[in-house]
Chain A
Amino acid sequence: MASVTLEDTSKTFGDFTAVRNINLAINDAEFVAILGPSGCGKSTTMNMIAGIEDVSGGTIRFDGADVTNVPMQNRGVGFVFQNYAIFTHMSVRKNLAFGLEVQGVQQSEINRRVEEMAEFMALSHRIDAPSASLSVNELQKLAIGRSAIVEPSIFLLDEPLSNLDAAFRERMRSDLRQLQRSLNQTMIYVTHDQIEAMGLADRIAVMDQATLQQFDTPENIYSRPENTFVAGFIGAPSMNLVRARIAERDGAMFADLAGREADAVALDDRLSSQARTHGGAALTFGFRPEHLRISDQPDAGTLAAQVVLVELVGRRKLVHFSTGQTRFVGSFDRTVSLRPGEAANVSFDLGKCHLFDPNTGLRLQLGEDD
């Protein structure tokens, strides 16, 4: 177990900046996911932590000790590659034993620990099979077991589930959760799949274009995103971000989402204070598809819209609405009956909606808890 700290760490390849001054403090025995779209710098960041890539600037510390210039074989980290990098010319047993053998551990001790790990990863029945004959699922477990057996203080995983198809991924997510709990190690996990990150991590570091966007618990990332990028990246389907004209009428704040003043939505106290403090005439109004409701009656809190398209996606129905000027998506239970062409009154769960600055993309907040 060890804490990992990145201080102003950066990486450039010639002209190209892959990671720009990242500051990250990961606690002992914490499970952190580094999440972002392809090309955002997440893999490079992890490679720097492992020592596979040199650091262009800044420091990396394990438990306070500076490891920035320590070569990768001496860092004591475990690393699971995206394509597993199993030694395919060796059996499962020899793969598991490798890390212990190169350290000069006694053979009897090696045998004991290899068998223990095989049992733990449910690979005992294949322990003497050639590793090249394993299924993708088993390869993944072997990759984790091979790294775990040397009991590294820090465990790094590079998109380990991306090779598996949808059905297996669900199963592996719960296996990984159990593993982390029992090994009680610091785990850092790179992925572009936000469901994975949400389901596994204690905290998520969201990255985009070489910079850290937000580092927080999944709950906060979901319900209090720092900016429009994080807001749009987390959640499937992603948060609706609609341009709104803000106006004050009779002492209350209204957000006009449809270009029809009469149809503006009344804001609650929290959002009204934010809007007043900001003072701008236009803001980005963000609301998640799963927080939309259909109202029977139009009132100050609802918006009239037309159903444009209905998609049945598994157990949910995605309904695409249009107000003429704007389009947005709602996510409902599959039993809801809405047909394309119908008119509907959409209401918002204002307590879960957000306002963002239209230029900077930053979320408006008045206090720490907002």
Chain B
Amino acid sequence: MTDATSSVPLSVDEKPADKLAQSRRSLAIRLLIPAQVLLVFIVAFPLIMQIFISLTWWTPLDGDPWYLAWMSWNWFDNYTYLMQDEGLWGSVGRTLLFVAVAVPIEFLLGLTLAALFYEGVFGRPVLYSLILMPMMIVPAVAGYIFFLIFQQTGPLNSALSVFWPGALDVNWLNDTTRAFIAVVIADVWQWTPLMFLILFAGLMSVPEDQMRAATILGANWRQRFFRIALPRIKTVIAIAIGLRVIECFKIFDMLFVMTGGGPGVATESLSLFLYKRTFQDLEWSYVASIGITVLVALSVLTAVLMARVKKKDAS
């Protein structure tokens, strides 16, 4: 059989030795330019601006426009400060704890749902839409819904008191531990559907013939799932988890609406911390430096994870 579909892409370094490659290249450039220009304005420019500000003491309280920030140049003082800021690291710790609790729960729930769906379950189309609904709700609105649910006199306590008399008195959002749990529950409710969606799509891509071959060889449902399906969707799992980790790390709207970071700072995530510093304390240059640090850290983490997954995939 011939492999007529394989074709070698023209690398950017190769000198286009002929008209065909040349015309391809010029077309490529012409198509990319609008997007590149947009990128410069929306991403590159603000990024450079942010890096610039993070190296100064500047705040809008100074009264000067931002491009004069060089007047209060301080090199890396902001960065050294952020290394010792207890408030910052506390919020980072809480955010990490949050991610470490919420994402695995979302993953396992999503995977279970995807597995059930894959093997076939009643009322698939209707159930599918129902499962996806939480994801469609604006996070702030979802946050507000849960705010109401978790009220001391709210529906959750009323429902629970049917089984546990006295539950009516449980205070969710004003207790440090229980507020954390409440927020985890809200996040899991909203984002498990996303995990389900991605994992289910991954499962659908498992070749049916291989599943059939496994069945004919005598494998039962569990063996098929864990030995054939799951190993084949490793990349998809990595993407789903990676996506959620990054998003979860940034959690803001739900927290803002449900607890405002409270009680105290019990549920103050990194984003909330930055929000308060930016809009309440107006420490813009400090916040800029934190932003850059987070960006670099997450990028490195993602790159490392992706490289590990790619290496595993290629072998």
Contact = CB atoms under 8 A, between A and B. Distances in A.
Q: Taking the complex as a whole, does A directly touch B, i.e. does some CB pair lie under 8 Å apart?
A: yes
Interface stretch (B11-19, B186-194, B209-217): B209-217
Interface stretch (A25-33, A36-44, A72-80, A204-212): A72-80
Given A99-B218, A130-B315, A79 B232 contact: no
Contact of A73 (B1, B218, B228): B218
B212 A102 contact: no
A89 interface: yes
Contacts of B24: none
B216 A78 contact: yes
Contacts of A52: 212, 216
A50 B213 CA distance: 11
Interface stretch (B35-43, B137-145, B219-227): B219-227
Contacts of A75: 216
Interface in B1-17: 1
B210 A87 contact: yes
A150 B218 contact: yes
B207 interface: yes
A250 interface: no
Contacts of A81: 209, 212-213
Given A89-B231, A89-B232, A83 B216 contact: no
A146 interface: yes
Nearest to A165: B1
Interface in A87-118: 87-90, 98-99, 102-103
Nearest to B216: A79
A196 B203 CA distance: 37
Interface in B228-259: 228, 231-232
Task: Name the prevailing secondary structure of the B interface residues.
Answer: helix
Contacts of B210: 85-88
A98 B217 contact: yes
B218 A103 contact: yes
Given A83-B209, A85-B210, A87-B228, A99 B315 contact: no
Between B207, B215, B216, B217, the greatest number of chain A beta carbons within 10 A of the residue's beta carbon is seen for: B216
Contact of A85 (B1, B209, B231): B209
Contacts of A83: 209
Nearest to A80: B213
B207 A73 contact: no
A332 B297 CA distance: 78
A102 B216 contact: no
Given A85-B209, A130-B315, A165-B1, A98 B216 contact: no
Interface string A47-61: 000111000000000
A152 to B, nearest CB: 9
B232 A50 contact: no
Contacts of B216: 50-52, 72-73, 75, 77-79, 147
B55 to A, nearest CB: 48
B78 to A, nearest CB: 48
B208 to A, nearest CB: 9
A88 B232 CA distance: 9
Contacts of A89: 231-232
Contact of A102 (B1, B207, B209, B223): B223
A300 B248 CA distance: 95
A51 B212 CA distance: 10
Q: In the A-B complex, list the 7 residue pairs whose CB atoms are closest, starting with the nearest.
A: A85-B209, A99-B217, A85-B213, A102-B219, A79-B216, A102-B223, A85-B210
6 contacts: A51-B216, A75-B216, A85-B209, A87-B213, A98-B214, A102-B227
Given A52-B216, A99-B217, 13 more contacts: A72-B216, A73-B218, A73-B220, A75-B216, A79-B213, A79-B216, A85-B213, A88-B210, A89-B231, A98-B217, A98-B227, A103-B218, A150-B217
